[in-house]
Amino acid sequence: MESKLEHLIEKIKSDGVEEAKKAAAEIIKKARKEADDIVKKAETDAEKIIADAEKEAEKLQANAEAALKQASRDTVLVTREKLLKLFNAAFKKELGETLSPEFMQDLILKIVDSWGKGKNLEVLVTEKELQKLQKLIFTKGRKELEETLTIKVDKGISKGFRVGLKDNNVYYDFTEESIAEFLGEFLNPGIREILDKA
């Protein structure tokens, strides 16, 4: 009986240990699976974070490149416009120097001779040039023009003159601004083309 009891105790121990081993193995297996799942999820999350970071970095780089290109284009456009303004200012200055009273006298007399014979003409000039032009035009053998040619001040003119039929209020514009604008329409496209190639 004692041997049966011992055998029974031994069997219970053996079964208990076996059960405990199975339970432990099951717990370990489950723990390993959970650990693997956690590692896989962490790896997946890490890959997603890296992929998102790479996409964001690419987007930032693309935005930076686009901003740089836009800034470059803007700089070129601003520089081109400043160069055109400088050219126009230099051109206008040269033109202003060309429109001396002597040059304007010659031009006015040619206009009178070719277009204004027998007509009453009116010439509008700056206050500064009024007396000089009257003296140049009316004292150089053209005294007869005093009856048909009137020279008056127009405060809207900075350099040059306007000419038209008296009391008609329609004038041909030979002012610095008008001539510069007219010639600039022909010169600016060529200059723009040169600047575009630069």
Q: Are 77 and 110 within one domain?
A: no
Between vectors from CA 12 to CA 8 and to CA 18, what angle results, nearest 5°? 140
Whether 176 contacts 160, CB under 8 Å: yes
Same domain, 31 and 60: yes
**Shared-domain flag, residues 119 and 87:** no
Residues 23 and 70 in one domain: yes
Final residue of a structural domain among 83, 98, 113: 98
The model's pLDDT over 7-65, given as tens digits with 9 standing for 90+, comes to 767 777 777 777 777 878 888 888 888 888 888 988 888 889 998 889 998 999 989 88
What amino acid is encoded at 190 in this protein? Answer: G
Q: Are residues 169 and 107 in the same domain?
A: yes
Higher pLDDT, 5 or 139: 139
Per-residue model confidence (pLDDT) at position 90: 74
pLDDT of residue 55: 92
Distance between alpha carbon 98 and the CA centroid of its chain, in Å? 34
Question: pLDDT by residue (tens digit) across 74-118?
Answer: 877 787 778 777 777 776 777 777 788 888 888 888 888 888 677
Same domain, 75 and 114: no
Q: Are 164 and 127 in contact (CB under 8 A)?
A: no
* Residue 4 belongs to domain spanning: 1-98
